[in-house]
Structure 1
Amino acid sequence: MTIDVVVADDQELVRSGFAMILGAQPDITVVAEAGDGVQAVEAVRLHRPDVLLLDIRMPRMDGIEAARVVCAETGTRVLMLTTFDQDDYVYDALYAGASGFLLKDVRRDDLVHAVRVVAAGDSLLAPAVTRRLIDDMVRRRLRQNPAPTGLDGLTQRERETLVLLGRGLSNAEVAAEMLVSEHTVKTHVSNVLMKLGLRDRVQAVIAAYESGLIQPGGR
């Protein structure tokens, strides 16, 4: 099965470079390129790709708003491109529905792997950059406006699952920690997302931090 991708970045060399790398894969087709946020949204509406590779800083419509529109209107998964030391809006992008982040100097193999992971319906939580970004953004947000827990509807096992998700563990790792099957873990994860009204595992990580189950900088 081929993964259809739209690559959106206002820097032509970056955009064409990513498109060339992805287009060279036998299971990935770059169906369109976009040079700004408006073009990115239009390309997604036209082609309905599996993944939108989207720069967080874009002209006309920034990456956050573009991600919000795409995630609200379509089933396309959004993978954001960022420069960790400069971007202050990653937290908002997560809330907009982004499924993960890549640094712009990402290695070729990691780029291809990330697109495949996100296209499969998973979130890109494993790379250290995503954990660091979430940790930093949540710390800032909690200083400004501490959030209520909102976890009363979860069972004890679902709360445990949320904590482990917040630590970035995969389903297999969660199963090993809880001494249950992966099928049981998938059920717990689905229940957590449904009860808390979350889009995916990335937003579950945010919820784990905001609820106080995990402290920024801790485990």
Structure 2
Amino acid sequence: MEIRHQRVFLAAGLLLYSLSCAAYAQETNNTGVWQAPTAEQREVIEDVLDSENFAIGVQTGVVSIEDFGVSTWLSAQVSYHLSEYFYIKASAGQAKAGQTSFEKLANVSPLLSDEERQFKFYGLAVGYNLLPGESFLTPQLAFNNALSIELGGGNTQFAGNDQFTLTLGINYRLFLTDWLAWDVNMSDYMLDTQITGENKSTHNLNLTTGFAVYF
């Protein structure tokens, strides 16, 4: 019985040795030198953003001035990126307010002159990048992007008065190149007015799009 078991183990050992020799032979060249298996490597070139942290941008869009309808909005910004996540931004923008519903329906004298209808804002905001990453338009085409929130304050000139304004915004940036970005921004300009006869807090919603150059 022992001799039978020894024969079985011996046969199994010879079989494993033969298989290993065959595998080794497939991995050697004609000269008998073993070569490590090679894998095809693909060269990947990543577009690196410029190291400069300043950006200048221009935007256009619409603003809903409470009680005065929707108007065209033009703005410009200068920003400095402190890190990958934080940045500060100085901005200025303006629009011309329309007529209130009371003015249109009652056919009365205008509440404001043309000069007083100019809605002008300038201020400073701090931004935080919530989701810096990449946006894949196709399996082979991807762009760097960032979704951020902004909180700031400034001054609004409207109806002959200067009013402190609190701003809250959401910004989306898509980097088309290492120096050019496409921006989409939605903001709320919150300020107190008493144009219609009562002192109240107003929310003036703003939606814009534009481009920023990094340098």
Between structures 1 and 2, the one with greater helix share: 1
TM-score by length of 1: 0.20
Structure with greater Cα Rg: 2
- Greater share of strand residues, 1 or 2? 2
Larger RCO: 1 or 2 (CA < 8 Å, sep 6+): 2
